[in-house]
Amino acid sequence: MAFFAEYSSQELLQAQLQLWHQSLGFFKSVALSIALDLRIADAIHSLGGAATVPQILAEAGINPCKLRDLRRVMRVLTVSGIFSVQQPSTATASSDCKHGAEIYKLTAASRLLVRDTISTMGQQPPFLSVQLMLETCRGCPASRGIHAWFHQDQQQPGLTPFALANNGQTIWERAEHDDAACPFNDAMASDTAFLMPIVLKECGEVFHGLTSLVDVAGGFGGAAATIAAAFPDLKCTVLDLPQVVAKAPSGTNVQYVAGDMFENIPPANAVFLKWIMHDWGDDECVKILKNCKQAIPPRDAGGKIIIIDMVVGSGPSDIKLVETQVLYDLLIMNFNGVERDEQDWKKIFFEAGFKDYKIIPILGVRSIIELYP
């Protein structure tokens, strides 16, 4: 980070936000293309101009198992102004709110997507020019995979939009067999090198008082090594799959343990999960967290989980930040991952048996979450 010494942490995080926002802009087109393909505007129009996600699914003939994913697409389309959304009133709000009770309405923009919209001169409907401009987007693998995903009649375990567009191959398999085309591990190491000095500078107190920490799915140990260097008395261990640990560097200040986070996690004061949970669905996350809970002592003995991940909608009210978060959610949807808001996180935390949590939104699009047993 010496190269960036002239910049503050917030300047660096804002610069990262700018680059991510620009890079993910493609998914605005993907979301709009999906709206046209599934005839979402037509469905809302047919339902009187306002509808919930379950109503849209039924009207458009989309399998109800796609409710959560369509809600994620609608989140992008509302943040970008294509549709508007009305939240349930406080009196009627309940757990159903997280399952499609928001009411989506047509705007002037989405009204142009309705297929029966024609001028008094009998001209072609306005959506055709938009459809033409989206053709390049529709042809790319990410877009093809998501389109195919919504047209599936049922949820097939383990199948992802990415796999649908890549002959059944998962992102992890592609990264393992062709790291030149998909440099996943290098990208994660790069992100760690950028983010961890900022974490330690801005929120290093989350590691104070710990005597041991296990970095789950920590790869070659970049994050753990940075923490260990800042806290020499803190014993840091990296847990990852055997094939990863076999390639880990020697002579570092961290210990490597081969294993599987879905099976067992080594005991420690704290468990560290950087950029891991968003890769997995709720059931998998609950399983990981239950294993984490077994690995740490009670809260009064210093036990906790430290998570670095997105909390959609947390932090300053910055439209670019929120838009980047929901666009990243469409990216991660390709791999069956999820970017969660606070209510989504709270659900899996409590289901895994944890009692309390604290969100610290100081890492740009991401937050630090302290989770307590």
pLDDT at 92 over 70: no
Half-sphere exposure of 273 (CA within 13 A, CB side): 24
pLDDT of 71 reads: 96
What mean pLDDT is predicted for residues 140-159?
85
Q: Where are the domains of the chain?
A: 20-87+102-169, 184-372
Write the class of the CATH domain 20-87+102-169.
mainly alpha
Neighbouring residues of 145: CB distance < 8 A, sequence distance ≥ 6:
160, 161, 162, 163, 164, 165, 166, 334
The set of catalytic residues is: 278
What mean pLDDT is predicted for residues 319-334?
96
What pLDDT band is residue 118 in, cutting at 50, 70 and 90? low
Are both 20-87+102-169 and 184-372 of the same fold? no
pLDDT of 117 reads: 60
pLDDT of 1 reads: 55
pLDDT of 88 reads: 77
Residues 232-257: tens digit of each pLDDT = 999 999 999 999 999 999 888 999 99
Which secondary-structure segment (H or E) carries 342? helix 342-351
pLDDT at 97 over 60: no
Q: The whole model's pTM is what?
A: 0.91
Four-CA torsion 163, 281, 98, 364, nearest 10 degrees: -90
CATH of 184-372, one of 3.40.50.300, 3.40.50.150, 3.40.50.2300, 1.20.1740.10: 3.40.50.150
- Average pLDDT of the chain to the nearest whole number: 91
Q: Between residues 285 and 244, which one has the greater pLDDT?
A: 285
Question: Is residue 255 within 8 Å of residue 235, measured between CB atoms?
Answer: yes
pLDDT of 107 reads: 97
C-alpha Rg value of the chain to the nearest Å: 22
pLDDT at 96 over 70: no
